[in-house]
Amino acid sequence: MAGNITLTTNRTVPLDRIRNIGIIAHIDAGKTTTTERILYYTGRTYKIGDIDEGTTQMDWMPQERERGITITSAATTTFWKDVRINIIDTPGHVDFTAEVERSLRVLDGGVTVLDAEEGVQSQSETVWHQADKYNVPRVCFVNKMDKLGANFYRTVNMIRDRLGANPAIMTLPIGKEQTFTGAVDLLTQKSLIWGSDELGAKFEVKDEIPKDMENEVAEYRHKLIEQICEQDDTLLEKYLGGQEPSQEELKKVLRRATIAYKLVPIYCGSSLRNKGVQPLLDAVVDYLPSPLDVTGVTGINPKTGKEETRETKVDASFSALAFKIQLDPHVGKLTYVRIYSGKISSGSYAYNSTKDKQERIGRLLLMHANQREEITEALAGEIVAVVGLKDTGTGDTLSDINHPINLEKITFPEPVISLAIEPKTKADQEKMGMALQRLAEEDPTFIIKSNYETGQTIIWGMGELHLDVLVDRMKREFKVDANVGAPQVAYKETIRKIAEGEGKYIRQTGGRGQYGHCFLKVEPKGRGEGYEFVDAIKGGAIPNEFIPSVEKGVKEATEKGVLAGYPLVDMKVTLYDGTYHDVDSSDIAFKIAGSMALQNAVKQAELTLLEPIMKVEVTTPEEFMGTIIGDLSSKRAQILGTEKRGHIVVILATVPLAELSGYATTLRSLSQGRSSYYMEPSHYEEVPKNITEKIVSAINPSSTR
């Protein structure tokens, strides 16, 4: 098995026998458990890892094992039926959404794990749409068939209705809840029964199907064959002529339809009880794309500005995307790269076309969670870790210096919450700066800013859990003790109407003076459209060389804000006039004038605050529904609706983040600890006037607004 494979020497896996897949799902649907079973059955590990015991291979960070959640996407390589599978186990928690985003960008296929009792939950929808964005074909695994309330058919209907997918049911469950013993494979009409071997590595394949399932199997098999035949005219003709296509023909067409995302094969099982994982592995091999099935990657040539395509070929020019940075205590900084074309070898050089820098490839590693195997070269279609890259960050493209290309960057959501952090002792001071810098390199949604007025360091992230984990990592990995303030909401400022402003900066000192003078117009833009600067200077009213200085001054003023010190967003700033002095005008004078003009303009443009609104989903027993809705309404929530699932009710709402501080504790006390909630950022909205006044006066007591 894989234990005997020395990948350092055996590098002969052809491209069509490689699968780059990700395991994606909602929190607690069983992603990591499913991955652990895959590693066990493919001979990658000799003992099954258990989340509850903290012995998993993929959740190797101490924080992951303590909390029982996945925080970083772990990459691993394994073999099944002579096919090499590169797996990335992604986090389900919305606070670590960057990990999912960057993983999906470089994967060819995905396995979506769903909870058979909960069905399609919010985060399942979010990650599903993230996968849609990158056109990632996927198969679904309806997990936890042994759980009380498990309902396979309802989950399949939710996949159709909520995710807009076209599910192709491949296996039907035999029994459910405590009686779940296996599945019927619809294509082969055989029963797969687990139970004789407690670890699930061996299972029985029976020719006969349970008597009480015969009609059901016949009906769903007929549906499946029809679905597959509809994807191919030749098969359809054959089928309509009363002839059933062979299994080979059906599999071939199903593979094509899955890769084109016209069908999504559905499997069922229970990872924790070691049932149903092997058919899922077969599906990964049979239906998910190899690097060759994915059309070549396109990018922009930085020299010509033209679009170019790179085919997945070893003899093509080298191109790769760096999608994750990880700090390893043993080898230092690891950069995970997906190679799209060509090959690289250790000790060679690659060109970072994003930053226009030459980089040396130190060592190449094949990663297995946090263990590693050293290799001498890496080829197109592979995912490897590189040691020795100094300037390469997440989303940078590496290419051949003679044939440069810039691949599409990875976009990440903006952080919504911040907190102040300060070192406990003088000794921690220096270490803290370095630790924060290192963590920010790893995580693109973690941002560090300094507040010059108070001298505080402010860290920004995707949620309280995200920041909590980062502070904890600082303590453990970098031995830095820090005092942490209460989490603060990431407000923003914007304007409601068009206004103009003038900025004039004149300083006359002995000798040469300073002179800068400009006029700006500000206009509101739609929510989320961001900031735009337009140069509309005519007739050289301000010389060209000073315009970037005005822009710089404006940009700095938008970052500091005017109303309450929050960044100004969603507005267009037009520089339309100004004057200059032949001798005294300078970059610094125009920068200050730009900053003054912006402040004067926005003060007349009806400044207002924006706050992050969260999409909240509360799952609760029916008896607490009224109390919870009442409590949410008192938090300025908009209740979007409720959905009944058995004895459980799911309440959907949008709530301002500012009102949700400590909500986990409130919810526990309202429902005797029986309710749970999930939230993710939704959008920004204006803060009501009375609350804006409170916030402004708290920050700036002298404000008479």
pLDDT value at residue 99: 57
CA distance 331 to 402: 30
- Cα 175 versus chain centre, distance: 36
Q: Answer for the pair 319, 342: CB distance below 8 angstroms, yes or no.
A: yes
Q: What is the pLDDT of residue 454?
A: 63
Q: Where in 400-454 does DSSP place strands (E)?
A: 406-407, 417-423, 447-451
Query: What is the pTM (predicted TM-score) of this model?
Result: 0.68
Residue with tokens 């679009």: 307
Structure confidence at residue 373 (pLDDT): 78
Give mean pLDDT in consecutive 10-residue pieces for the chain, a chain of 705 residues: 36 78 76 75 55 42 43 65 79 55 77 87 76 86 88 91 90 88 90 75 82 91 92 88 88 92 92 86 92 82 86 87 77 83 89 90 74 81 86 86 84 77 82 84 79 73 78 81 82 94 87 89 92 92 94 93 89 95 91 96 94 88 92 94 82 91 84 80 89 83 51
What whole-number distance in Å separates Cα of residue 76 and Cα of residue 373? 11
pLDDT at 577 (0 to 100): 94
Size of the chain, expressed as the number of residues it contains: 705
- Residue 198 is predicted with a pLDDT of 65
Dihedral angle of Cα 681, 682, 686, 687, to the nearest 10 degrees: -40
Q: For residue 113, list its beta bridge partners.
A: 25, 141
**The pLDDT value given to residue 695:** 85
- Residue 626 bridge partners (DSSP): none
> Residues with Cβ < 8 Å from 454, sequence gap 6 or more?
none
Beta strands 18-25; 397-399: pairing state: unpaired
Residues 6 or more apart whose CB falls under 8 angstroms from that of 702 comprise none
Three-class SS of residue 476? helix
153 — alpha (psi -120 to 50), left (phi > 0) or beta? alpha
CA atoms within 13 A on the CB side of 197: 12
What are the two backbone dihedrals, phi and then psi, of residue 338, each rounded to the nearest 5 degrees? -105, 120
61: phi then psi, degrees, rounded to nearest 5: -70, 145
pLDDT at residue 123, rounded to an integer: 67
Task: Give the integer Cα–Cα distance in Å for 156 and 120.
Answer: 9
CA distance 243 to 246: 9
Enumerate domains of the chain plus CATH numbers. Answer: 15-211+264-293 (3.40.50.300), 297-407 (2.40.30.10), 417-490 (3.30.70.870), 493-605 (3.30.230.10), 611-693 (3.30.70.240)
Radius of gyration, alpha carbons of the chain: 29
CB count, 10 Å around CB of 659? 15
Q: What does the alpha-carbon distance between residue 114 and residue 139 come to, in Å, rounded to a whole number?
A: 11
Quote the tokens at residue 69.
């959640």
Q: What are phi and psi of 251, to 5 degrees?
A: -65, -40
Chain centre to alpha carbon of residue 88? 12
Closest CA to 669 of 627, 637, 616, 615: 627
Q: Which position has the token pair 């290309």?
A: 405
Gap between the Cα atoms of 619 and 617, Å rounded: 7
**Alpha-carbon span 38 to 60, nearest angstrom:** 16
